[in-house]
Chain A
Amino acid sequence: MKAIIQVLNRRRSITPLVTFRITYGLLLFFSSIRFWYQGWIDALFIDPTFHFKYYGFHWVKMCPDYFITPLFFTMILAALCVALGFFYRYALSVFLVLFTYFELVDATNYLNHHYLVILFGLLLLFAPAHRYFSLDVRRGSVLSTAQIPRFYILAIILQIAIVYTYAGIAKLNSDWLFEAMPLRIWILEYQHIPVVGGLLRYTTTAFIFSWFAAFYDCTIIYFLLFSKTRKWAYFTVILFHFLTALFFNIGIFPWLMILSNLIFLSDSFHNRLYRLKKNIASTPNSLPGIRSTTVIIICIFFIIQLLVPLRHLAYSGNTMVTELGYRFGWRVMLLEKAGIATFTLKDEGTKRSMEIANREYLTDFQEKQMAIQPDFMLQFAAHIAEKNSHIVKSPSVYVTSFIALNGRVSQPFIQADIDLLQLDDDWSDKPWITCRSIP
């Protein structure tokens, strides 16, 4: 243990970490402003009258409408303070709490890269990223430090490695590799782009993209780690993520990866950014080494992260179909999936029943997400029963549902003759999901 800590304590320049802090803060500052500007606060938080929840987080309630904007504004300011290194740990804590809150209030809006933002934030919370080139140093609340234990940088690198590796493994499925699905569908949208646009209608193009993306995700981390290939690897990072930004509606994800991957570049590269002289960089610093408790906490953090994406193995069937263990697993851009779910509310007393118009309860976006996610269907069934409790005294709810994925005809999804109100959403398998594999 001691030896390990000694290795992890070996000093590096603080500058890669500083770059990470600044780019993280700025990116979230701008992307939160964009989120607001796009009207998504209204569309995703205020317009819906009902919010889907994550398992175990049903207690996170949407705050009253008039709180939302001030909270969001605080979050944007906090992101800026993180970038500036101004009351760094407080700002980062405030940012993380608010960002996580806005994620938890409605599971409809789950995005892998928002989850990654939270994980990066948690790692930054431990790291002394404000010890250089920050307002905290300038105002004298902390001493400037040129060197830090390399542990902090390694932790971020490991986080990135987990993302890429699991994203890569997820792509090693027959639809991605042998059908070029769903890229075949998605690239069709960009046929009018000059020069390359004309090539996009060919299935071969989709195959090249699919294989390149799978290869990239599985291997890029090693090319970035190996100093001889690093420069070219980073160039590929820029190219790859720039292309995905061009082709897909994936928000900040490409920029998050391009910027966070800067952490692989050498100390001297980052030092140059801040005109940090080599002799200063090598002076002894005031920062104590990391403690074994920190290492243990971070280790547990990573062990959990290594296991969470694998939990789908505990369930029968294909997670791409059942969505059991799908979230938090770095399964990105894997599916073109659409469903139809028609709910019937029955009164067991009067034996009367009615078909539910989903749109009277959900936004279009929520309906679309609900129709492909079984846990949402249970939540929705309970919501329907509650909303109609004045006319239906002893309710039961049934759903007729179909899902179509990756360019195929649809399949029946959920057992149609089972009362959804009798089912619990927990971690056990959901045998009432009848469609288990890609047909």
Chain B
Amino acid sequence: MKQHFSRHIQNTKGVLFIASFLCLFSASCTDETSSSPSCLNEYDLSPLLANYADQVIAPRYADFEKEFSQLYTGGSVFLTSPSIENLQSLRSSFISSYQSWQYVAPFDFGPAEKHFLLSTFNNFPLNEGKAYADAIEKNLNFSSPDDYNKGLPLLDYFLYGIGSTDQAIIDSFTTNPLLAEYTQAVLDDMKDKLTIVLDEWGEYRNTFIANTGTQDGESLSLLINAFNKDYEFIKRNKVGVSSGVLSLGFTNPKEIEAFHSELSTLLIKEAIQSSRYLFKGNTTNADNGEGIEEVLRTLNAKKNGINLADVILEQYLKIEDHLERVNGPLSLAVDDDKEDIIDLYNSMSEQVIYIKSDLPSVLCVPITYVDNPSDSD
């Protein structure tokens, strides 16, 4: 009851504030209340989509392509002449590539979705037994998106986990040429898929910008759905599964991203930052383009009297705060730092309400990855 009352007060304040604001700056201030639905009926989405295509998606792919080509070259060098030096150099480009990957992972629509870029690069946790067996049996077919024997997780295992010391890892490669062959094949697979996707994006860009509707299958809907899918992937697969919240509190320290290289916490940070920048429509830290954030501000969508854009950004900050408190790799933190991880997870869950429920609702964009197999009435 008390909560209700205070919300009511907040609402009233909010209404008064918007109302006076609108009276000052716009001609119409007749029927604007905080509970009125907004929707993008007469909103021109072209600048927004152009910004995402040219200032967000294209540069992020270009960055990743650059990082990955170094990884690819470094891989070839190491595999032909395994040495401590070459391993270290390869590892460093592996780390940069894995970080950079977090910035393109959300674009799982259009060409990337068609060619399973997501599962090619980052199906984790790796099925180590299968990966090793496939290497030995020269099973080099990577076409199934349901296989967990490839991509960056494979490199994580082979470059960090296949031996207990660096020298042992190098020895594995020198004594067993099949490992090198398999690793090269995995690198080639990633390279091929990335090349196709980048090629197709050239043409897809125009389609993407031209589809200015808000409905199922149109660009804004694709973007918001992909944004949400990515976020839920971070929440569930990168944090949830290992934390034990899904398994009666029994943790799964091995079921994380980048287990052997111990990059998990870093990669979650990158992924959250990627998600936040995507929401803002930024390429890098500089706030330079029109993103979903600006649309929310234009619509003046409010949650409990606060601008929804601010609610979402505030929640990202809270999540990042929680992340700062996580020390070391997630594999240890899930047990040593249980409370913080649970807090992190809960904080991430709260964001789901804002971006999966509130955001599509006020934009009138249907969440379509929940598909309707039937008629409605």
Instruction: Give A residues with C-beta under 8 Å from B.
Output: 39-40, 43-44, 109, 111-113, 175, 178-179, 181, 184-185, 188-189, 191-192, 201-203, 206, 248-253, 332-333, 336, 338-340, 342, 347, 350, 352-355, 357, 363-365, 367-368, 391-392, 402-410, 438-439
Give 18 CB contacts A-B under 8 Å.
A181-B37, A188-B39, A188-B364, A201-B42, A203-B42, A251-B374, A338-B360, A353-B248, A354-B245, A364-B371, A365-B370, A365-B372, A365-B373, A365-B374, A391-B248, A392-B248, A409-B302, A409-B362
| Residues B370 and A367 in contact, CB atoms below 8 Å apart | yes
A43 touches B373 (CB 8 A): yes
B192-200, B209-217, B284-292, B328-336 - the one binding chain A: B209-217
Q: Are B361 and A407 interface neighbours, CB within 8 A?
A: yes
Partner of A203 from B35, B41, B358, B372 at Cβ < 8 Å: B41
A340 to B367, CA, bound (A): 11
Contact of A364 among B215, B366, B370 (CB under 8 A): B370
CB-CB under 8 A for A404 and B246, given A340-B353, A364-B369: no
A44, A175, A184, A248: the one contacting B373 at CB < 8 Å is: A44
A-chain residues with CB within 8 Å of residue B375 when the two chains form the complex: 111, 249-253
A338 touches B35 (CB 8 A): no
A409-B308 in contact given A251-B377, A354-B246, A402-B357 (Cβ < 8 Å): yes
| Complex partner residue of B249 from A40, A188, A352, A402, CB under 8 angstroms | A352
Assembly CA distance A40 to B216 (angstroms): 20
With A340-B357, A409-B303 already in contact, the answer to whether A109 and B374 are too (CB < 8 A) is: yes
CB proximity of A360 to chain B, nearest CB, Å: 10
Residues of A near B364 (CB, < 8 A) are 184-185, 188, 336, 407
Bound state CA distance, A364 and B245, in angstroms?
A: 22
* Shortest distance from the beta carbon of A291 to any chain B beta carbon, whole Å: 36
Give chain B residues whose Cβ lies under 8 Å from the Cβ of A189: 213, 215-216
A202 near B353 (CB under 8 angstroms)?
no
B12 an interface residue at 8 Å Cβ cutoff? no
In angstroms, Cα B247 to Cα A161, docked, is 54
Shortest C-beta distance, B58 to chain A (Å), equals 26
Bound-state Cα–Cα, A120 to B213, Å:
39
Among A191, A248, A363, A392, contact of B376 (Cβ-Cβ < 8 Å): A248
The residues of B that contact A438 with a CB separation of less than 8 Å are 35
| B374 and A407 form a contact (CB under 8 A) | no
Q: Is B313 an interface residue (CB 8 A)?
A: no
Q: Does B352 make an interface contact (CB < 8 A)?
A: yes
Which B270-320 residues have a C-beta within 8 angstroms of A? 301-303, 308
**Would B42 and A113 count as touching, CB distance under 8 A?**
no
Q: Which of B213, B303, B308, B353 contacts A191, CB < 8 Å?
A: B213
Q: Give the 7 A-B residue pairs with the shortest CB-CB distance, closest first.
A: A407-B37, A251-B375, A404-B361, A189-B215, A43-B373, A410-B357, A185-B364
Task: Give Cα A333–Cα B249 distance, bound, in whole angstroms.
Answer: 43
**Would you give the shortest CB distance from A432 to chain B, in whole angstroms?**
15
Known: A189-B213, A203-B42, A407-B362. 7 other contacts (CB 8 A): A188-B215, A353-B248, A363-B373, A364-B371, A391-B248, A402-B357, A404-B357
Please tell me if the beta carbons of B357 and A339 are within 8 angstroms of each other in the complex. Answer: yes
| Pairwise interchain contact B39-A407, C-beta atoms closer than 8 A | yes
Report the nearest B residue to A406, measured CB to CB.
B37
B contacts with A: majority SS: loop
Query: What residue in chain B is nearest A178 (Cβ atoms)?
Result: B31
A12 → chain B closest CB, angstroms: 31
Is the CB–CB distance between B215 and A44 below 8 Å? no
B83: Cβ under 8 A from any A Cβ: no
Chain B min CB distance to A36 (Å): 13
CB distance from B374 to the nearest CB of A (A): 6
Is the Cβ of B357 less than 8 Å from the Cβ of A250? no
Residues of A within 8 Å of B373, CB to CB, are: 39-40, 43-44, 363, 365
Q: How far is the CA of A45 from the CA of B370 in the complex (A)?
A: 17
CB < 8 Å neighbour of B367 from A201, A252, A338: A338
Residues from chain A with Cβ under 8 Å of B36 in the complex: 179
Q: Which residues of A contact B269 (CB under 8 A)?
A: none
Q: Is the CB of B41 within 8 A of A206?
A: yes
What is the CA–CA distance of A391 and B248 in the complex, to the nearest angstrom? 9
Q: How far is the CA of A439 from the CA of B362 in the complex (A)?
A: 13
Interchain nearest-CB distance for A424 vs B (Å): 25
Say whether B174 faces chain A, with CB atoms less than 8 Å apart.
no
B221-258 to A contact mask, C-beta < 8 Å, 1/0 = 00000000000000010001000011111000000000
| C-alpha spacing A365/B369, complex, angstroms | 10
The closest CB in chain A to the CB of B367 belongs to: A338
B356 at the interface (CB under 8 A from A): yes
Q: What per-residue 1/0 map shows which CB atoms of B6-49 lie under 8 Å from chain A?
A: 00000000000000000000000001000111111110000000
**A40 touches which one: B39, B41, B356, B374 (CB < 8 A)?**
B374
Alpha-carbon distance A403/B353, docked complex (angstroms): 9
In contact, B358 and A202 (Cβ under 8 angstroms): no
Residue of chain B at shortest CB distance from A356: B246
User: Are A249 and B376 touching (Cβ within 8 A)?
Assistant: yes
- With both beta carbons as reference points, the residue of chain B lying nearest to A115 in the complex is identified as B377
Cβ of A388 to closest chain B Cβ, rounded Å: 9
CB nearest to B236 among chain A residues: A357
Report the separation of the CA atoms of residues A350 and B214 in the bound assembly, to the nearest whole angstrom.
Answer: 48
Q: How far is the CA of A332 from the CA of B376 in the complex (A)?
A: 9
**Chain B nearest CB, measured from A235 CB (Å):** 24
> How far in angstroms is the closest Cβ of chain B from A270?
28
Which residue on B lies nearest to A360, using beta carbons?
B246
State whether A410 and B361 are in contact (beta carbons under 8 Å apart), knowing that A184-B39, A364-B369 are contacts in the complex: yes
Any chain A CB within 8 A of the CB of B127?
no
In the complex the two chains form, what is the Cα distance from A206 to B247 in whole Å? Answer: 47
Q: By CB atoms of chain A within 10 A, which of B31, B349, B376 has the most?
A: B376
Contact A112 B377 (CB under 8 A): yes
